[in-house]
Amino acid sequence: MPEQHQPGPGHPRPGQSEVAHAQAVRPEAGRPEAGQSAVTQAAAGRRPGWPDGATTAAVYAVLVLLGLAQGVFGAFFFAAGPVPLAAIIFDLLIFSTCLFGGWGARRPAGALAPAVGWFCATFVLAMSTPAGSIVITAGSAGEWFLFGGAASAAAGVVAGFVIWSRASAVRSGAIQSGAVRSGAVRSSTRRPRP
């Protein structure tokens, strides 16, 4: 009976990939670096082309701040020009920010982040102070700004969720012969057996 060769610490075991062996020997070897190929990133457990957690958190923070800035700026200038025109422009702006935030983040939560900032800003600025002053008045322009902006932000979030949830399902391979429409979405981690 021939003697079986046991691989040493510098060689992978039979059936073990070189990447898995490198991660077992040096855990930092499997981490993708900037400029690494998609194959290397996928082997390290990351989706190729997707940012890390810190970058994602920074993107969401910027989107929340952008929505907050739009809410504050719109609260002071919603009545500029012909009465409902500026308010409608601000409504369309928050809608497009939510929609493009989802597109830029490639996730539905990217559409939600600017809406959260906008709602926080307008909620605070629509309340009266103890002295009785109000920033967003109850005139027609104020109502267009508040109600139209709320509807526009909600529509942008819903559109972002519909578009980017479906796009995420397509990218992960969950949509196979109409599986999403029928409700039988497969897990993207399973692979069909040969």
Given this model, what pLDDT does residue 81 score? Answer: 82
pLDDT digits (tens, 9 = 90+) for 97-126: 999 998 888 888 999 999 999 999 999 988
Average the pLDDT over 7-14 and give the result.
59
Cα distance between residue 58 and residue 66, in whole Å: 12
Given this model, what pLDDT does residue 63 score? Answer: 95
Cα distance between residue 36 and residue 48, in whole Å: 9
**How many other CB atoms are found less than 10 A from the CB of residue 87?**
27
Does residue 57 carry a pLDDT above 70?
Answer: yes
Which of 45-49, 152-156, 160-164 is the most confident on average? 152-156
Contact (CB, 8 A) for 100 and 67: no
Prediction pTM value: 0.61
Report the SS3 class of residue 107. coil
Q: What is the DSSP track for 2-41? A: PPPPPP-TTSPPTT--HHHHHHHH-GGGGS--TT--HHHH
The dihedral formed by the CA atoms of 18, 24, 27 and 31, expressed in degrees to the nearest 10: 30
